[in-house]
Structure 1
Amino acid sequence: MKQLIKFGFVGILNTGITFIVYNVLLKLGMVYFAANAIGYIAGVANSYIWNKNWVFGAKGEKDKALIFKFVIVNLISFAVNSAVLWFCINYITDNKTVAQLPAIVVGMGVNYILNKIWTFKK
């Protein structure tokens, strides 16, 4: 449970980074999909450091293998996030900021499960 709380805390930080970058880029006129990708990358960079060292305590692990797994997990999570975002924008609301909220929640769930069972598995 402690690990899940730590993951949630890091997730909130990453989500904040992603959400802020996404919304700034939208306000600058960028299309939502590109803004989502750039925001997601910003959050992922922060996420790797915190998840590796603090949440999952994988300090002794080989960085190349961890980075590879972490990237794969985040590509999957990004695909899920993007699919939910697309669905919400096209079928639920045209408010791109509101549509990002469920996309973040679903993507975060996928990310936690895959990182726990594969990337940072002890």
Structure 2
Amino acid sequence: MLEVIKFGLVGILNTGITMVVYNILIFFGVNYIVANAIGYVAGVANSYIWNKNWVFNAKDKKDNSLIFKFIVVNVISFAVNSGVLILCENYITKNKTIAQLPAIIMGMAVNYILNKIWTFKK
């Protein structure tokens, strides 16, 4: 249970980073999909460090293998996030910030499950 709480705390930090970058880029007129990708990458960089060293305590694992798996998981999570974002923005709300919220929740769930069972598997 502590691991899930730690993942949630890191997720909150990642989400904050992602949302700040995303909203700054939206403010400057960047396309919301491009802004989402850039914001997501910023959050992922932070996520790798915290998840490896604190959440899943995988300090002893080889970085190359972990980085590859982490990138694959985050590409999948990003695809889920982007799909939900597009659906929400097109069919639920035109507010791009509100549309991002369910996208983050879905992407985060996929991310945790895949990292738990594959990337940082003990």
TM-score by length of 1: 1.00
How far apart are residue 55 of structure 1 and its match? 0.1
The Cα shift of 1:12 comes to 0.2
**Alignment pair present for 1:14 and 2:14:** yes
Q: Secondary structure of the equivalent of 2:109?
A: helix
SS at match of 1:25: helix
- 5+ unaligned residues in a row in structure 1: which ranges? none
CA deviations on 1:63-119 (whole Å, 9 max, x unpaired) are 000000000000000000000000000100000000000000000000000000000
- Is 1:114 equivalent to 2:114 in the alignment? yes
2:67 paired with 1:80: no
Runs (4+) off by over 2 Å: none
Structure-2 separation of matches of 1:84 and 1:19? 16
CA distance in 2: counterparts of 1:86 and 1:100, whole angstroms: 9
Give the aligned CA root-mean-square deviation in angstroms.
0.2
Shift of 1:18: 0.2
Distance 1:86 1:26 in 2: 15
The percent identity for this pair of structures is 74
In the alignment, the residues of structure 2 paired with residue 119 and residue 27 of structure 1 have an alpha-carbon distance, to the nearest angstrom, of 35
Q: Secondary structure of 1:3's partner?
A: helix
Deviation at 1:8, TM superposition (A): 0.1
Structure 2 residue aligned with 1:69: 69
Question: Number of residue pairs matched?
Answer: 122
Q: Where in structure 2 are there 5+ consecutive unaligned residues?
A: none
Q: Give the aligned partner of residue 54 of structure 1.
A: 54
